[in-house]
Amino acid sequence: MRKEVIERLVKSGDLRPRWKDTERIKSMIMSAERNVAVVRSIKLTDESATVVFRDIYESIRQLGDARWWLVGYEPCNHEISLDILKDMDIKDKIKLNSLNRFKKIRHDANYRGFMVSVSQANEIIDFWDSCGKEIVKILSEEVR
């Protein structure tokens, strides 16, 4: 992310400068992976789709938090957490455009009682399989 954007986010209170805490970053990455593994063990049904979607979304957001900590900042909202992931150079980079939609779906599920569909849950599962694992690999290499 460009320096002037980061400065604006700090000034607006959306980011806080932090020191690079490698143990925290490793823990965030491991937690995201573990959470997805547990959620993936749940049978995907109309009743479980919302839980599966929300938990995988939280794991993706947590990877964004880890990336911010890698560059010395703590994000103060979900949008900022997801924005830094959009800058990553991954194979299916076009899929990073789904992050805003995922945030909206999660918001609607959490605050408006919207029920996530099985197809939406499958979409975020596919995102994790095609992008999340690659993001984990990149972050894990960067934190060493």
Residue bearing the bigger pLDDT, 115 or 144: 115
Which range of residues forms the domain containing residue 49?
3-143
Task: Specify the number of domains making up the chain.
Answer: 1
Q: Which CATH number is 42's domain given? A: 1.20.120.330
The model's confidence at residue 30, banded by pLDDT at 50, 70 and 90, is very high
Contacts of 3 (CB under 8 A, 6+ apart): none
Supply the pTM of this predicted model: 0.93
pLDDT digits (tens, 9 = 90+) for 40-94: 999 999 999 999 999 999 999 999 999 999 999 999 987 899 999 999 999 999 9
Q: Which residues of 99-133 are buried (b: 16+ CB within 10 A; e: fewer)?
A: beebbebbeebeeeeeebeeebbebbbebbeebbe
What per-residue confidence (pLDDT) applies to 77?
86
